[in-house]
Each structure stands twice: as structure tokens, then as C-alpha cells.
């Protein structure tokens, strides 16, 4: 039986996620910050991100609450009041696999939160060998001059508005983040990010141009990042992707499972809307 990360590791993963989110929001350039009016706030062991001039649920979100068992019911009311004071009519709450998950779910439902999909967390033992991946691309670790390609692919695949390009460029070149690109000849067609924190490795930011899907680019990028993490002694690699939905493409998830990742949990997302 393959080993799976236990509660302590999952708590460390969530803590890594919180630190990464804080660092990412610190990269917002001043001119964009004037427009978005961002805030990052700690409540208990959780983190709130707020963009007063945006109603996007990914921008206005709570993560990590309860991952160390420090959540209290009054904190949910504190969070709601904070978003109300920011004049936001809705925000999302991503619930991780911490020891208080069931209890927090009860608190959220009692306050009118509605379930709104979720993310699947997958993990892989970093000591396992990484299989070879058949592909029609060449994978390289990105350099500073590759950052515009990373951003351009993300904009095309995820619909990121051009108004946030300065933030995307700052994030692509930020210390601690490594970018990997898949090339078809001289053309970059897919990207993926890697961040290492101690013996944990996060794989994220994966995107492949539509016309280059089914050519092995995503799998090749997963393998390259896993090998890089293994060389530096990472015990666990983890990733989050959209939870499976019937009738919705799940190529990213299939590739992760094919390369040895296993689902650890579903992180449900709840949404609060002003009445």
C-alpha cells in the first residue's frame, strides 16, 4: 500500500499554502493596488484575501481556517463582518482537511453559506521514481526572459485580464517560484510552476494552449517538476485541481493520477452572499 500524508503533513501543506498566498499578494504592484484595494488578514489560523474593487470569488476568499485546530465559531462572524465592511456582497470559503472541518461546515451552513464546488488535493510520495513521459515537446526551466511567455499562456488559458499583467509578471519572476516551459520547436506551448518549502513541493500554474493539448506537454511538465523536487530531497509533492464534475474535462487530473499522485481529500468551497 502506498504511503499517504498524515494529518501533520496536511497541516504543513495548508500552512505552506497560506504563506504562498500571503507572498503572492505582497507582489501586487502599487498602481494595481490602488485600483483593487487589496487586504490580507489573518483570523485564527486562517487567512482572508480581499480585493474591494473585485467581486471574483478567487480574490475574495478564506483559506486555512481550522487547519491547526484554532478556529472558533465567533471567527466566522468576524469574517462575515470584515467582508461586509469592505462593501462586498459575496466571498468564498475554502475548507481544508483540518481537524475541525465538520464543525466549521456546521457553522457555515448555519449562517447561510452555500456549497459551490471544491478543489481536489492530490499528493505524491517524493521518494518514488518518476516515470518517463512520451511527448512531442521539450521542457526547460524558465529564465527571466521567459516570464512574458508564462504570463501570455496563463492569460490565454485562464482568461486573466490584461489589467493584472503587472501582477502576473511580478509573480512569475518572484523568488522561490520556478517556472517550467514546454516548447514545440521554438514556440512555448505550456507552462507549470514549482515552489519548494522545506521537504514539501507544490506544483501549480499548469496551463497548455488548446491547440497543443494531447501532445504530452502537461505530463512532461509534471515529470520535470517532480524530478527537480526529488533532487532537492522533497518528501511530498502536492497539487490542487478542480474537483471532478460529471461531463467536465478532467485531463489535468488524469495526468496527475497517471504519474503517481493520489487524491487526499476534496476541499469544499462555500459561498456567502449578502441578503
Residue 216 sits in the same domain as residue 147: yes
The answer to the question of residue 255 being in a domain is no
pLDDT digits (tens, 9 = 90+) for 133-155: 999 999 999 999 999 999 999 99
Q: Are residues 166 and 61 part of one domain?
A: no
Reference 94, options 81, 113, 111; nearest CA is 113
My answer on whether 88 and 16 are in the same domain is yes
The CA–CA distances, whole Å, from 8 to 15, 214, 274 equal 11, 37, 36
Residues 112 and 35 reside in one and the same domain: yes
Q: Quote helix, strand, coil % in the chain, to nearest 5.
A: 35, 30, 35
Query: pTM here?
Result: 0.94
DSSP at 198: T
41, 66 in Cβ contact below 8 A? Answer: no
Q: Are 128 and 96 in contact (CB under 8 A)?
A: no
CA proximity to 108, closest of 93, 98, 118: 93
> Quick one: 99 and 26 in the same domain?
yes
Task: Say yes or no: 51 and 84 in one domain.
Answer: yes
The domain of 210 spans 128-234
> In this structure, are 89 and 141 located in the same domain?
no
20: region left, alpha or beta (phi > 0 left; psi from -120 to 50 alpha) = alpha
Q: Is residue 196 part of a domain?
A: yes
According to DSSP, the residues that pair with 41 across neighbouring strands are 48
Parallel, antiparallel, or unpaired: how do β-strands 90-94 and 61-63 relate? parallel
Q: Is the residue at 247 inside a domain?
A: no
pLDDT tens string, the chain, 275 residues long: the values are 567 799 999 999 999 999 999 999 999 999 999 999 999 999 999 999 999 999 999 999 999 999 999 999 999 999 999 999 999 999 999 999 999 999 999 999 999 999 999 999 999 999 999 999 999 999 999 999 999 999 999 999 999 999 999 999 999 999 999 999 999 999 999 999 999 999 999 999 999 999 999 899 999 999 999 999 999 999 999 999 988 877 666 668 999 999 999 999 999 999 999 98
Q: Are residues 117 and 132 in the same domain?
A: no
Q: Name the domain count of the chain.
A: 2
| pLDDT tens digits, 155-188 | 999 999 999 999 999 999 999 999 999 999 999 9
Q: Determine the Cα–Cα distance for residues 149 and 169; give it in Å rounded to an integer.
A: 10
- Say if CB 69 and CB 34 are below 8 A apart: no
- CA 257 to the chain's CA centroid: 17
Q: CB-side exposure of 182: number of CA atoms within 13 Å?
A: 28
Nearest alpha-carbon partner for 171 in 187, 184, 160: 160
Amino acid at each position: 500500500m502506498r504511503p499517504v500524508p498524515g494529518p501533520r503533513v496536511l497541516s504543513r501543506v495548508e500552512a505552506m499554502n497560506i504563506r504562498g498566498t500571503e507572498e503572492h499578494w505582497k507582489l501586487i504592484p502599487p498602481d494595481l493596488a490602488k485600483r483593487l484595494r487589496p487586504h490580507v488578514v489573518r483570523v485564527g489560523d486562517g487567512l482572508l484575501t480581499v480585493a474591494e474593487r473585485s467581486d471574483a470569488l478567487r480574490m475574495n476568499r478564506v483559506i486555512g481556517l481550522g487547519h491547526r485546530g484554532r478556529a472558533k465559531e465567533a471567527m466566522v462572524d468576524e469574517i462575515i463582518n470584515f467582508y461586509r465592511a469592505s462593501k462586498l456582497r459575496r466571498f468564498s470559503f475554502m475548507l481544508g482537511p483540518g481537524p475541525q472541518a465538520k464543525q466549521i461546515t456546521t457553522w457555515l451552513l448555519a449562517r447561510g453559506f452555500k456549497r459551490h464546488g471544491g478543489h481536489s488535493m492530490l499528493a505524491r510520495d517524493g521518494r518514488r521514481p518518476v516515470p518517463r513521459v512520451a511527448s512531442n515537446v521539450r521542457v526547460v526551466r524558465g529564465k527571466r526572459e521567459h516570464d512574458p511567455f508564462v504570463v501570455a499562456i496563463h492569460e490565454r488559458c485562464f482568461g486573466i485580464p490584461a489589467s493584472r499583467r503587472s501582477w502576473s509578471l511580478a509573480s512569475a519572476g518572484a523568488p522561490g517560484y520556478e517556472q517550467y516551459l514546454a516548447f514545440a520547436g521554438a514556440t512555448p506551448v505550456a507552462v507549470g510552476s514549482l515552489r519548494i518549502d522545506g521537504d514539501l513541493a507544490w506544483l501549480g500554474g499548469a496551463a497548455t494552449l488548446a491547440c497543443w493539448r494531447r501532445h504530452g506537454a502537461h505530463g512532461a511538465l509534471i515529470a520535470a517538476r517532480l524530478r527537480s523536487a526529488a533532487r532537492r530531497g522533497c518528501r511530498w509533492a502536492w497539487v490542487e485541481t478542480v474537483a471532478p464534475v460529471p461531463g467536465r474535462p478532467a485531463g489535468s487530473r488524469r495526468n496527475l493520477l497517471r504519474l503517481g499522485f493520489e487524491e487526499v481529500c476534496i476541499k469544499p468551497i462555500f459561498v456567502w452572499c449578502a441578503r
